[in-house]
Structure 1
Amino acid sequence: MSEHLLARSNGRPWLSDGGLETTLIFLEGFELPGFASFPLLQTAEGRAALQRYFREMLETARAHETGLVLGTATWRASRGWGPVLGLTDDEIDEANRRSVAFAESLRDEFPDVPSLIEGVLGPHGDAYAPDRVLTAQEARDYHRPQVEILAQAGADFIGAYTLSSTGEAIGIAEAAREVKMPVLLSFTVETDGRLISGTTLAEAITETDAATGSYPMWYGINCAHPDHFRDHLKGDWIGRIGSIRANASRRSHAELDEATELDAGDPQDLAQDYAQLLHMLPAVRVLGGCCGTDHRHIAAIGAACLE
């Protein structure tokens, strides 16, 4: 999959979207129980908001003559979140299918913009305050149903975001391998550049590669400001980082959880941070955003990194 993306992009990074859920909550005024965006696809108002959001991203990719990774709205669409959201396993499975079909409709709407559909996974619990840490086998069993549904529905690859433990990363990689799906594993770090467990990014990536035979096509960092991890990007392992989706805010996860207003930072400052990261991370293939970012940030990142 990484070679396929490179072949279609002439070696230039592709863009991805930004902070979908924070945009919907703070800028569009939606309530998202459990931070789940996929239920919006079942209402005309919600679907229209999602269309606006992703169309702006596709237009931005078009303007910068690059491709777009179209993520599905399924970060909270695993079966473990069903009871929290009042949904059955069958309803969760159908939500994943509906989300892939929605992404396909957007791709069809912009045939001149190269795009890949990313089947998005989130952690089994709260990434920033997990009630427990899954073993690799538990994570494999937990995530496999969603991986399988997304693959059957037509996603091009799996992208797992805000991972905070190597056990969960390994389990997701094994589930993807069994379904024969390429997979991106993206870790989130605290302000000290480490996972919540204290594990370093170097340790997390090295351990996951060792346990899976380097099955992930690449790794990512998301839901942290570049200031939180920039100084820790040293060593051969950084060649495995292919995706950056940073927060606009420099606040900690705990501070963001308590925030009642959106901290969108400065799009231009964030874009310059990305330009610096590109020089440090030669294997990066996808540039997007996370909490607090929207089309303004993605456009600025494109201008700073792709022109």
Structure 2
Amino acid sequence: MATFLVDVGFQGQDAGALRQARNWFEDVFRPFRVLVTAKREQTGTRCFGELPKDHTEVLLRERTTSQPLMWVTRRGKVLDVGLHILERAGSDLLSFFERAEELISNYVVTHLQRHLWIHAAALYKNSSLVLLIAPSGMGKTTLSLALLDRGYVLATDDVTLFDLEMGQLMPFPRCPRIRGNALGALRNSGFHLLERATLRGRYVVLPARHLHLAPIDCPVRGVHVFFLTREHAGVSAGVQPLTLSETIRLLAKQSNVLAQDPQLEFITTMLRHASVYRLDLGAFDDTLERIMEVTPQ
């Protein structure tokens, strides 16, 4: 995994915004071992939006002026990320931070060589692996957080990475980002998240005991894969076993498997000892119970 250097700078006199940026990135990027540096720029010290000459790519520009707000510079295994923070306030500043985190994480995933990624949460317990596969907004994060209360540890809540050369699942521990009534759903299931973690905006900063940070050798003997669907909305949650061909077909829609593993050698080996299901989502507690019924306790 790349090492990140997040270089946070801004134009103006707002020292509070600088402190907020530094604290936010140190918390949210803590699992990534990010070094946060801060530069306070006086108005007029240099042209706003001036890029380093060796920058690799601009990731974000200001809408009306097209001035660069965020760029990356690749230096071997180090990814330097530059941010310019305008004089933003309150939720607008927080939204900018969240957008920056999303862009950085997506950039890393899409530029890793010889890595297979799956749009999935990955949790580990007693040498068994659970994958929750679904696009954003389906409830992977909330279910993942609930499984922490069942003894699992989190390797990733959104994108699962496999290093094809090393034959390992590589943890990608982004801070989980909760949506909607996630806290209420977790509380109703008996898991009081805020007693174990802290919130930075919508991001959940988990203590180290809830994270699995070491690579996991593949194939894993016990793998349980769930493709989350809402095909039968309003009906009780249910699980349906899937064949290998059905699994590959669904997986191709939520991964880069056809590009990185065109002969399907790695993924077939990975799934050899797997139990794969389609999980129709129902009420949260009902869905969680269906998962626990078919996974090791």
Q: Please, what TM-score do these two structures have when normalized by structure 2?
A: 0.28
Higher relative contact order (CA 8 A, sep 6+): 1
TM-score, normalised by the number of residues in structure 1:
0.27
Q: Which has the higher strand share?
A: 2
Of Structure 1 and Structure 2, the greater helix share is in 1
